[in-house]
Structure 1
Amino acid sequence: MALAGSATATLGHELSNPPTDGISSVKFSPDDPSLLLVGSWDKKLRLYDVTTDTLKREWNQKAATLDVCFSSGNRCFSVGVDKKLKSFDVNAPGETVIGSHDDAIRCVVHAPETGQILTGSWDHHIGLWDPRTNASLGKYAQPAKVFSMDVVGHTLVVATAGRSLFVYDIRNMKETLQPRESSLKFMTRVLRCMPNGEGFVSGSIEGRIAVEYFDPSKESQARKYAFKCHRQVVDDTEHIFPVNAIAFHPIHGTFASGGSDGVVYIWDHLNKKRMRQYPRYPTGISSLAFNCDGSMLAVASSYSFDEGEKDHPPDSVFVRQVGENECRSKAKVAA
C-alpha cells in the first residue's frame, strides 16, 4: 500500500502537521498497520493515519509527553511531565486519568500477556495498572530514576540511573529475578526486548549498543556482547553520539537503532552484522517504531538537546516503506 502525499525519496514520506517541539515517542497500533501515535514536548498528543497522511485526532495536554503506547487498536496511553498516566479512545476527544506518580513518568508499556499497563517514573518507582478498572495494582521501588523499560511475555526489564538493570516477572513484582549492571560503561538511554523473549538490547549515551540474554547459564551469558555505533570521524577526530532509539522488526527479529547523529542503522544481532545504513536525517533520531506487519518504519527526526540550546531543523516524522527483505537476516544461523 503506497503512502499518500509528497515524499523525500531517500528518507521516506514526511508526515504533514508534525509536532512543533521535541518528539519524545512514536508507536504504531498493534492491530492497524497505518495508525501511528506521536508524543512530544509541545503539549499535544497526535494520532496519524500514515497511509493517507491524515492527522486523525489531536489531544491537548497540560504538559510535555515523554512516552506513549497502545493496548489495542482503539485504546492508547500517554505519560509525561504532569506525572499522570492517561488513557485515550482513538475515536473520542476526551481523556481518562488512570493514576499518577510523585515525579515525571518517563516510560509506559503495555503487557499483552496480562493486559496491564506499566509505568516507570523519575520518582524511583515502577507502577502497575489495570486499564480495565483504572485501578493501581501496586508501585515498586527502584534504586534510582527509571530511564527506559520494556516487556516481553511476562518479563519486564528496567534500566535506571547508575547503569543498573533489573529483570522482573510481572506476575510477582515484589521480587527481582535478576539485578544486573549494564554492559555499557555510560548511562543507558534506551532498552528494548527481543520479540522472541530471549533477551534485550540497550543503547547508551556513549554510542554503544549491548546485546544481552535472560538465561543465566554460562553458555548463554557468553553470547552477550557490546559494540560501537553512531560515530563519525570529522577532520581526524571521532565524534560520538548517543543512541536514542531502538526498535525490533516484528517479523524478522532484527533491529533498528537511531542516534543523535541523525542516522538509522539496521542490525542483525545474531550474526553480529550491520545490515544497512539509511541516509542521514535532518537532525537527531529521538524515536523509532516498526508497524505491526513490519512494512513501515516511523522515524522521529527531532533534536534532543544533547548540545544545549541551538538552532536546529524543524521536528519531523518520516515513514519509510520497508522492503520484504530489507530487514531479513541474510546469513544462516547455526541451529
Structure 2
Amino acid sequence: MDTTSSQFEIANPPSDGISKVQFAPEDSSLLLVSSWDKTATLYNVDENTVKHKFEHQAAVLDCCFSSNDRAYTGSVDRNVRELELDTGNSRVLGSHDDAIKCVNWCSLTQTLFTGSWDKTIRTWDPRSAEPLQSTYHQPHKVLSMDILDDKLVVAMGNRHIYIYDVRNMSETLQKRESSLKYMTRAIACLPSKDGYASSSTEGRVAVEYFDPSPEVQSKKYAFKCHRQVHGDTEVVYPVNGLAFNPVYGTFATGGSDGIVNFWDGINRKRIRQFPRYPDGIASLAFSHDGKKLAIACSYTYDEACGGT
C-alpha cells in the first residue's frame, strides 16, 4: 500500500495466515511474504505480480532480505534457507533444534542472525562452506528480534529482553525485563538508533532507550492501544505489527482488532487510524524510501506464537 495515494490488495496472496511482510532494502517494488501455508513468496507490488514462490516443508515464521536479490527464511521445519531471488532457487544453510521464529540480516557484519524456540540465537555466514558460525544460548524462547547497526535487541519468553553488540555476541550488553506486563509480541529498533519499541499481547506499546543513565531512562514511556469498548467491557487485543518509517521516524502498529494506527513518537500522539480491516493485522513493513506500507491482514495465530 502506498501511504501517499492508493491502497490495493496483492494478487495471489498466501492460502493461510501470513507471518511476516518485508520490503527489499533498496527496491520498494519487491515484497517478500512468509506464511503458514509453507511458502515464502516474492511479489512485485508495482506490477502486482508474483515473481517467485519458495516452497518449504512446514510453516514459514519469518523472512528477511540481505540484498535486493537474496533473502532468508526460518521455518517450523527448523531449517534456515537462503533464497536466490533472481533465479528462484534456494538452499538450506543449516538448522536449529526447534522452530525458527526470527531471521535478521546484519549489514554491519554481513551475517544472518536467527532466533529459535530452542532458546538459542545462531549466526550464519552464507559466504562460507559451513555457514554456522556460533550458537548463543538464551534463557527462554526467542519471540522477536531486530538489528540496527551494531545493536541486536532480543525479546524472549517471560518478558526478558536482551541487548547485544553484534560484533561481540559472547557478552550481553544489557539484560532487561520488559516494562510491559504481558508477553512481548514484536520489537523494533528506533530509527534514531538510541532505543527500541516493543508491543505486547495486552494492547500496549513501550518505547525504551539503551542508555542506562537516569536522565535518559526518564524519557521512556508506554501507552495503551488496540482496545475497544463493547457495552461495559473493554476488549484488549494483541499488537502484532510494529514498524518504523525509516524516513519520517513515525511508526505504525497493527493489532488483532484489524486496526492500523500511525503514531508520532516524539510528541506521543496518534496521527491517524486506518479503517478496520476484515481480519487481524499480522505484520507491517515500510519500504526503504518510506513511501509504502505493507499490511498483512490475516488470521494471526494468537494461540501459536511460541511462548509465554
Shorter-chain TM-score above 0.5: yes
CA drift of 1:305 comes to: 3.5
What's 1:112 paired with?
A: 107
Secondary structure at 1:151's aligned position in 2?
A: strand
Matched, 1:241 2:255: no
Matched, 1:93 2:88: yes
CA drift of 1:87 comes to: 0.3
Cα distance in 2 for partners of 1:11, 1:263 equals 18
Cα distance in 1 for partners of 2:282, 2:70 equals 24
Pick one of 49, 60, 67 that aligns with 1:65: 60
Cα distance in 2 for partners of 1:305, 1:27 equals 19
Unaligned residue ranges in structure 2 (runs of 5+): none
Q: CA RMSD in A?
A: 1.6
Pick one of 122, 127, 149 that aligns with 1:153: 149
What's 1:188 paired with?
A: 184
Q: Deviation string for 1:44-76 (max 9, x for gaps)?
A: 110000011011111111111000000000000
> Does the 8 Å contact 1:202/1:210 carry over to 2?
yes
> Does the 8 Å contact 1:11/1:279 carry over to 2?
no
What's 2:19 paired with?
A: 24
CA drift of 1:306 comes to: 3.4
What's 1:229 paired with?
A: 225
* Most deviating of 68-77 and 126-135: 126-135
Unaligned residue ranges in structure 1 (runs of 5+): 4-9, 309-335
CA drift of 1:97 comes to: 1.0
**Structure 2 matches for 1:314-325, cutoff 5 A?**
none
Cα distance in 2 for partners of 1:79, 1:20 equals 18
Q: Deviation string for 1:21-55 (max 9, x for gaps)?
A: 01000000001111000000111110000011011
Q: Deviation string for 1:211-240 (max 9, x for gaps)?
A: 000011111100111110000011121100
Matched, 1:268 2:264: yes
Cα distance in 1 for partners of 2:301, 2:292 equals 27
Secondary structure at 1:175's aligned position in 2?
A: strand
What's 2:209 paired with?
A: 213
Q: Which of structure 1's runs of 4+ aligned residues deviate more than 6 A?
A: none
Count of residue pairs brought into register by the alignment: 302
Cα distance in 2 for partners of 1:115, 1:263 equals 36
Secondary structure at 1:110's aligned position in 2?
A: strand
Cα distance in 2 for partners of 1:176, 1:229 equals 31
Aligned residue type for 1:106: K
What's 2:42 paired with?
A: 47
Cα distance in 1 for partners of 2:149, 2:95 equals 25
